[in-house]
A and B are shown apart, each in its own frame.
Chain A
Amino acid sequence: MDLFLLEAIINGILLGGVLALLALGLNLIFGVIDVVWIAYADIVMCGMYVLYYLYAQFGVPLPIAFLVAIVSMAAMGVLVHVLIIAPVLESAPINQLLATGGLLFFLQSFATLLFGTEFKNIGVRLPILEVADIYISFSRLLAFGIGLVGAVVLYVFLKRTYIGTAIRAIAQDRDIIGLMGVDQRKIYLVTSAIGGALAGLAACLLALQYDVHPYIGNQFGPVIFMICVLGGLGNMIGGFIASFIISMIIAIGGYYSNTELAYVFAFAFFIVLMFVRPRGLFSR
């Protein structure tokens, strides 16, 4: 096989790890709260700025900067829920979608106002590994590995803890759960915090590979929604698999043409698949 193609495929798998992490957060929020956060990728952008300022500007050690970025994005998730989602919980789904769309406008322009439109890099240079003539970026490998670990930790949390069980229960039946003595609002807050933390974790991993700028969310946002819908909104395992399908299309498409067309292939593939499986690939 062509060596460059192989390299593209490996990079595709590695990209899938980060996308899977993002899809996981979005799916969790959708499954539990039944709201699509259109601005999810822009929360990632905020996390990347936090990391950039802490590490590159103020010289905070990287692990601490990572931790602060994750925790502050978890706090932001809670804030988004309390300020924006909670008031529209009873509204029509379209209004909920639009409320987070307003947040998207706000975050992108506020970031432009605060930080300007320049591309900023945190300046961590990780080595590039060479395995049998194939070049693999270590930052991508790291992102992939941590993404997988994050997914497993979340899975264990949902399966093994009381709150995790309550979260899964609420995703199955919203109305009855109150009768079981579960405080719905508390679960919503915890879910939003986890969703925010996952965005923060993704921000840390993406900051190693990409420059941060106010509109970086537009680069990932639509792809993540597509992955979630493809896997079945709210279906975490479906979203996880769909991440790798889409990232593979993007990687291989990019190898044969250019990046934009690769995304066009991915979106077109998505639209066609929606007609074959309208409720997502893995709908029951």
Chain B
Amino acid sequence: MSINRIIPVAGIAVLLLVLPFVIPSYFMHLVIQILIFAFIYTAWALMGRFGFVSFGHGAFMGIGAYVPALLWNYYNVTPWLGIPLAVVLSALLGVVIGYPCFRLKVVGHYFALVTLALSQVVLLSLTAARDITGGSLGLTIRTVGHSWYALQFPEKIYFYGIAIVVWLIGLYAWQRVDHGISREALEAISEGEDAAAAVGINVLREKLRVTIISAALTALGGAIYGQYFMYLNPETVSGIAVSLQIVFAVIAGGLYSLMGPTVGAIITLSLTEGLRVFFGTHFIGAANTIYGILLVLCIIFLPQGIVGKLQGITLRRRGPAKPVAAPQ
């Protein structure tokens, strides 16, 4: 690792270590949320960066959040079993939807809209099963106080630790994909499937692998989200709104860089939180109105995201810019 990389990494590590001792509880809450969503966004970007734009990640997040919560509430099954089960189910769903899609070359708009239908299926199923899930009134996870068995901690510091761990898992997965042979293959696929197949790339296997990783990690993120908030609502963990929110944050932060999704999480969550505090409850919708305008402006003027833009500037200063793969 070069000195250019050690300094920022060490800086972030020190910041994360010091943060819990200096900031008040409310900001801890915000930081934990940012870390959990940064993880989910990173998981989405694993697929998104290669042009497989999924609007269905709300489905994976919903499964991740609801499966452990329902098992715990009704059967006393510890989340330590529930979460892996949710992750496996989600990965399976990823295969069920991904395999035919990739096999039959459902790409671009079609892929986005098929996955959108998937997240609607999960959203509506959760709402329809209101006898079990509480429907749109939501589901409260049964509390037992401080417990490792139930993965419930009233003190924020525990979830702070957990959130950092999952976030690092997300970054690690990104690095593995980024540095592995798969990346070359996937970039080739995103530029032309037939050409990629012609040079001997197993298009189906490469796409499926990254989909499974992405779906599984998103479910894990959803599960941690559920354990932390202790309250689930179909609208806040799945469906079109959540799926769009994921895609937006990543685009805002930057799709093609390691820290892009994290920056996206920091920007979007601080912005929503900041606007919410600023406008208070008098103007319901004001915060999201501004948010929506910013999103549109961001996509028109900063299509490669904020991190991408910054990198573009530094790269240009250092020499000729490296060509960036065009999104499909």
Interface residue from B113, B284, B287, B292 paired with A103 (Cβ < 8 Å)? B292
Contact residues in A for B251 (Cβ distance below 8 Å)? 95, 98
Contact residues in B for A135 (Cβ distance below 8 Å)? none
B223 within 8 A of A: no
Chain A: CB-nearest residue to B130 = A260
Interface size range on A against B:
35 or more
Q: Is the CB of B328 within 8 A of A92?
A: yes
B300 within 8 A of A: yes
Interface residue from B106, B109, B285 paired with A110 (Cβ < 8 Å)? B285
Tell me the smallest distance from the CB of B111 to a CB of chain A, in Å.
9
A221 to B108, CA, bound (A): 19
Q: Is the CB of B124 within 8 A of A264?
A: yes
Q: Is the CB of B296 within 8 A of A106?
A: yes
Which B202-233 residues sit within 8 Å CB-CB of chain A? Answer: none
Tell me the smallest distance from the CB of B231 to a CB of chain A, in Å.
20
Tell me the smallest distance from the CB of A79 to a CB of chain B, in Å.
13
Which A74-103 residues sit within 8 Å CB-CB of chain B? Answer: 84, 87-88, 91-95, 97-99, 101-103
Tell me the smallest distance from the CB of A233 to a CB of chain B, in Å.
6
Check A222/B248 contact, CB under 8 A, given A99-B300, A106-B289, A271-B97: no
Contact with B along A251-284 (1 / 0, CB 8 A): 0000001101101100110110011001100000
B125 within 8 A of A: yes
Interface residue from A36, A101, A267 paired with B117 (Cβ < 8 Å)? A267
Interface residue from B117, B125, B288, B296 paired with A99 (Cβ < 8 Å)? B296
A229 within 8 A of B: yes
Contact residues in A for B120 (Cβ distance below 8 Å)? 222, 263, 267
A274 to B38, CA, bound (A): 32
Overall SS of chain B's interface: helix
Check A233/B291 contact, CB under 8 A, given A111-B285, A117-B284: no
A204 to B158, CA, bound (A): 53
B327 within 8 A of A: yes
Q: Is the CB of A88 within 8 A of B299?
A: yes
Q: Is the CB of B303 within 8 A of A95?
A: yes
Interface centre among A87, A101, A261, A270 (most CB of B within 10 A): A101
A84 to B301, CA, bound (A): 11
Q: Report the count of interface residues on B (CB-CB < 8 A).
A: 49
Check A271/B292 contact, CB under 8 A, given A97-B112, A101-B244, A110-B285: no
Contact with A along B107-137 (1 / 0, CB 8 A): 0111011101110110011011000000000
Tell me the smallest distance from the CB of B267 to a CB of chain A, in Å.
14
A66 within 8 A of B: no
A271 to B26, CA, bound (A): 42
Chain B: CB-nearest residue to A263 = B124
A94 to B247, CA, bound (A): 10
Contact residues in B for A274 (Cβ distance below 8 Å)? 100-101, 104, 106, 110, 114
Check A92/B327 contact, CB under 8 A, given A103-B296, A109-B288, A112-B285: yes
Chain B: CB-nearest residue to A232 = B110
Contacts from A to B (Cβ < 8 Å): 36, 38, 84, 87-88, 91-95, 97-99, 101-114, 116-117, 214, 218, 221-222, 225-226, 229, 233, 257-258, 260-261, 263-264, 267-268, 270-271, 274-275, 278-279
Instruction: Show 5 A/B contacts (Cβ-Cβ < 8 Å), sorted by A.
Output: A222-B240, A258-B128, A260-B124, A274-B110, A275-B101
Contacts from B to A (Cβ < 8 Å): 51, 53, 97, 100-101, 104-106, 108-110, 112-114, 116-118, 120-121, 124-125, 127-128, 239-241, 244, 247-248, 251, 283-289, 291-293, 295-296, 298-300, 303, 326-328
6 new A-B contacts at CB < 8 Å, known A225-B113, A267-B118, A274-B114? A93-B108, A98-B248, A106-B293, A112-B285, A214-B285, A229-B114
Q: Please provide the 3 A-B residue pairs with the shortest distance between their CB atoms, ordered closest to farther.
A: A106-B292, A112-B285, A109-B288
